[in-house]
Amino acid sequence: MPHLQKQEYDAIVAGAGPAGSIMALVLADAGLDVLLLEKRDEIGIPVRCAEATGSRAELERFVDVPDEWITDTIDGARLISPGGRMFEKSFPGVGVMLDRTRFDAGLAAAAAAKGAEVRTGIEVTGLLRDGERVTGVTVRDNHAKTAPDIALRARLVVGADGVESLIGRWAGLPTLWKSTQIFSCLEAKVKSRREGDGVLEFYFGNDVAPGGYGWAFPGGGPIWNVGVGIDATRSGRVPAGPFAERLIDRFDPDCEKIEWLGGAACKSPSLAKIYGEGIVLVGDAAHQPNPLTGGGIMNAMEAAAIAGECAAAGLRSGNLTPELARYQKEWHRNVGRVNDVYYRMAELVYRYSDDQLDHLCERIASLLDHQSGRVRPLLFLRDLLSLPRDFVLASLRIIPVNRWAIF
Ligand SMILES: Cc1cc2nc3c(=O)[nH]c(=O)nc-3n(C[C@H](O)[C@H](O)[C@H](O)COP(=O)(O)OP(=O)(O)OC[C@H]3O[C@@H](n4cnc5c(N)ncnc54)[C@H](O)[C@@H]3O)c2cc1C
């Protein structure tokens, strides 16, 4: 086992993705002893992400963002309906495309700069408990698999271990996925003759991506991320691979495939409980991505910032559990309840027939057009009323909230 600075910490964070690194950064910044553990040897590798996220200003609420983390800006979206019609809407500067390898490594480095101890190649293998209370973790050095696991104590254990999270389950939290709550994803980083124009492309249709969608996101110059996320329970047992191959062929049959990336993305409503005594979950481990898109980078950071502030207050006052309850409440008020609306929308849209999807794409495009021109209330009302009624009912609940970003 590489020499750790201590055997006992204020907080041990499992997983150095965006959630874990921001959590470690906030806790270390509050003057607490923090250990951030990552089971992979290199943080951010391999990438399991299409790398689209919110704007630079949104990211900079959490951390300084050097230029090298960003590969492109996002200036709009193009919806491609099952029938092949294209609807485009410009949203200048709405987001950025990231280099996730640099981004994830940079976030962990930012946590280290605030004083967190960051260790890679070390996997959390279990929890230490005193009755209901979690009091630490057992860990294994992945390069010394025959060496016994060692125990490390902590006043708080943070499960930031991503979509494959076991920590919540070990703690008895209700984190089990239903098979329908997972987008099974496969994408390729490709080099194409098509230059990116800052517009994210979304492809819909039951032949394209059953129970999900396909995407082509520009990653700077000729580089694109092209792939699909499907609901494997709706694809007749066909895995994501053939759908991804077909979409890449349709996108650019002559493109050069640089590397394939796979993984699971979340499509889940808010969990009933994301903390316990001495334990808290953040990011994918807490089912926090946007269920309509599976986009989870921004939500992971947002959750970790809230959880970090609450946990730091609890660790300082010695009254941790009520502060973790405050985190759950604030998360739900800020983002969780919006996610629940997106979940209801996802439950509808990803079950629609191709005809319904064609109609929906057309109506949404028409509605978005009202934003750019002179508002004509009667036409707007006509377009609104021509949306599928169940979709309108589900999506209207989003109006009272102020954070509706899909990534
Ligand atoms: C194909 C695909 C495309 C996606 N595209 C986008 C996109 O364009 N935009 C977007 O916003 N989101 C996207 N997402 C989702 C996004 O990647 C996640 O929501 C985000 O990474 C969540 O961050 P996190 O920190 O919670 O988890 P992760 O980034 O998954 O980090 C968890 C970390 O924990 C480590 N770990 C796991 N178990 C242990 C353990 N026992 N001990 C120590 N370490 C452990 C893992 O190795 C990992 O590094 C995509 C997902 C997939 C699969």
pLDDT in tens, 174-200: 999 888 999 999 999 999 999 899 999
Per-residue pLDDT at 87 exceeds 70:
yes
Per-residue pLDDT at 383 exceeds 90:
no
Q: What is the Å distance from ligand 1's center to 285 Cα?
A: 9
Domain count, the chain: 3
Q: What is the Å distance from ligand 1's center to 348 Cα?
A: 26
Which pTM was predicted?
0.94
What is the reported pLDDT for 20?
Answer: 98
Q: How far apart are CA 62 and CA 57, in angstroms?
A: 9
Q: Are residues 146 and 292 in the same domain?
A: yes
Q: How far apart are CA 345 and CA 351, in angstroms?
A: 10
364-375 pLDDT, tens digit per residue, is 877 777 665 566
What CATH number has the domain bearing residue 261?
A: 3.30.9.10
Q: Closest ligand 1 atom, CA of 297?
A: 11
Rg (CA), the chain: 22
What is the reported pLDDT for 378?
Answer: 75
- Count of CB atoms within 10 A of residue 130's CB? 10
Q: Are residues 34 and 109 in the same domain?
A: yes
Q: Are residues 365 and 378 in the same domain?
A: yes
Q: Are residues 280 and 356 in the same domain?
A: no
Q: Are residues 273 and 321 in the same domain?
A: yes
Give a yes or no: residue 186 inside a domain. Answer: yes
Q: Are residues 208 and 243 in the same domain?
A: yes
- Within 180-295, residue ranges assigned H as helices are 240-251
CA distances from 256 to 6, 54, 247 (A): 48, 28, 14
Domain that includes residue 355, residue range: 348-396
Ligand 1 shell residues, CB under 6 Å: 14-20, 37-40, 48-53, 123-124, 160-164, 185, 187, 263-265, 283-285, 289, 294-297, 300, 407
